[in-house]
């Protein structure tokens, strides 16, 4: 009998400190940086984001999301036999957030590792977990996206610091006799490293290079719009489905204009687009599982719905996962 993988539980968590555009603009004005609610909403669709307290890490946010996903799946933490955490803002250089999260969940023994594909991290992690379940290497995987991007923002750069937020989302992916994950399509092109990066690294006890995010927004925008369409089409072709079969499109939540453009290219009505970027900002690898969890808990995404997840981000990386929820 063919072995598939299927999402059986979702969870998410946002740190309590919510900043509206007006509050962020006031904070930035005190630093001599000028921005406005009007500019941010018009160019990005973002109205608010959450920032974690200074002592709260990705594993803390991931833990809350993971507990909720495990509970929704009707499991105990001890049932989990694989942990993958997608993050670009780990608690420390090593060990991985996944190992720290495993310990915080009170379990031990199962493989646990991080996936680094920036904002595409969650679709990469889900694809790897799916492959490990199909191969028999795991049966009950916890796949988490967790980020504290506020730590790597340059608050003197208004072109980037208004875009991002902190948060975590998680799913439990279990072996199943019915599909689940229908198809996925992952890509990377390292020649674009420079358009979106945090170039700093640790050497000789110091951080060499900037530890803050830098981005060529226009270049990222152009690439994102192109690859989100191609990844969606490639994934549909692998599953032998068409755009008309998609019930819900959950793209990486970076910019509402990019998301609208993707929906338009796929000829999907905007009612099928799940949008959380307005309230979360761009939470990088956390954005897709956060949006999925909100869509599930609000009753939009229902059992049996066909859902297209799409990630795009630094690397340059991109990809899509098509699934039956």
The answer to whether residue 20 forms part of the interface with ligand ACO (CB under 6 A) is no
Which region, judged by CB under 6 A, interacts with ligand ACO, from 76-84, 169-177, 220-228, 302-310? 220-228
Q: Is 38 exposed, middle or buried (0-12, 13-18, 19+ CB in 10 A)?
A: exposed
Select the residue interacting with ligand ACO from 17, 47, 159, 306 (CB under 6 A): 159
Q: Which phi and psi (to 5°) does residue 283 adopt?
A: -100, 25
* 313 binds ligand ACO per the rule CB under 6 A: yes
171/85 Cα distance (integer angstroms): 11
Instruction: Give the residue from 290, 247, 270, 242 showing the smallest Cα distance to 119.
Output: 290
Question: DSSP character for 230?
Answer: H
Q: Which of 5, 8, 44, 283 binds ligand ACO (CB under 6 A)?
A: 44
281 binds ligand ACO (CB under 6 A): no
| Radius of gyration of the chain measured on its C-alpha atoms | 19
Q: Is 221 in the site for ligand ACO (CB under 6 A)?
A: yes
For 177, residues 6+ apart whose C-beta sits below 8 A from its C-beta are 1, 2, 3, 4
**What six digits make up the tokens of 245?**
């079969």
Structure-derived torsion over alpha carbons of residues 25, 30, 33, 36, reported in degrees to the nearest 10? 20
**Residue closest to ligand ACO when measured from CB atoms:** 313
> Does residue 87 interact with ligand ACO by CB under 6 A?
no
CB of 310: closest distance to ligand ACO in angstroms?
A: 12
- The answer to whether 214 contacts ligand ACO (rule: CB under 6 A) is no
Segment near ligand ACO (CB under 6 A); pick from 39-47, 48-56, 232-240, 300-308? 39-47
Q: Which residues are catalytic?
A: 119, 252, 282
Is 59 near ligand ACO (CB under 6 A)?
Answer: no
Q: Which residue is associated with the tokens 């999260």?
A: 101
Contacts with ligand ACO, residue ranges (CB under 6 A): 35, 39-40, 43-44, 118-119, 158-159, 162, 196, 215, 217-218, 220-221, 224, 254-255, 258, 282, 284, 313-314
């Amino acid at each position: 009998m063919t072995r598939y993988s299927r999402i059986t539980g979702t969870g998410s968590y946002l740190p309590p400190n919510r900043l509206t555009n007006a509050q962020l603009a006031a904070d930035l004005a005190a630093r001599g940086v000028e921005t406005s609610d009007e500019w941010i909403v018009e160019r990005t669709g973002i109205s608010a984001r959450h920032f974690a307290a200074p002592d709260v890490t990705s594993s803390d946010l991931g833990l809350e999301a993971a507990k909720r996903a495990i509970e929704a799946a009707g499991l105990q933490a001890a049932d989990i036999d694989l942990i993958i955490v997608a993050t670009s803002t780990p608690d420390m250089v090593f060990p991985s957030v996944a190992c720290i999260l495993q310990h915080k969940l009170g379990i031990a023994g199962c493989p646990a590792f991080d996936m680094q594909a920036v904002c595409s991290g969650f679709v990469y992690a889900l694809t790897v977990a799916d492959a490990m379940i199909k191969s028999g290497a795991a049966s009950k995987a916890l796949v988490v996206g967790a980020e504290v991007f506020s730590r790597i923002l340059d608050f003197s750069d208004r072109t980037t610091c208004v875009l991002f937020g902190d948060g975590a989302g998680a799913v439990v992916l279990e072996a199943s006799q019915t599909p689940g994950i229908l198809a996925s399509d992952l890509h990377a092109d390292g020649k674009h490293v420079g358009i979106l990066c945090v170039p700093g690294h640790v050497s000789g006890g110091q951080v060499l290079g900037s530890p803050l995010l830098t981005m060529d927004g226009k270049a990222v925008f152009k690439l994102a719009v192109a690859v989100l369409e191609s990844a969606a089409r490639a994934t549909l072709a692998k599953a032998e489905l068409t755009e008309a079969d998609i019930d819900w499109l959950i793209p990486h939540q970076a910019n509402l204009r990019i998301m609208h453009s993707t929906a338009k290219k796929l000829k999907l009505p905007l009612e099928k687009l799940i949008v959380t970027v307005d309230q979360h900002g761009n939470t990088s690898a956390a954005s897709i599982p956060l949006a999925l969890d909100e869509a599930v808990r609000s009753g939009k995404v229902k059992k049996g719905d066909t859902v297209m997840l799409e990630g795009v981000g630094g690397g340059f990386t991109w990809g899509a996962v098509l699934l039956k929820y």
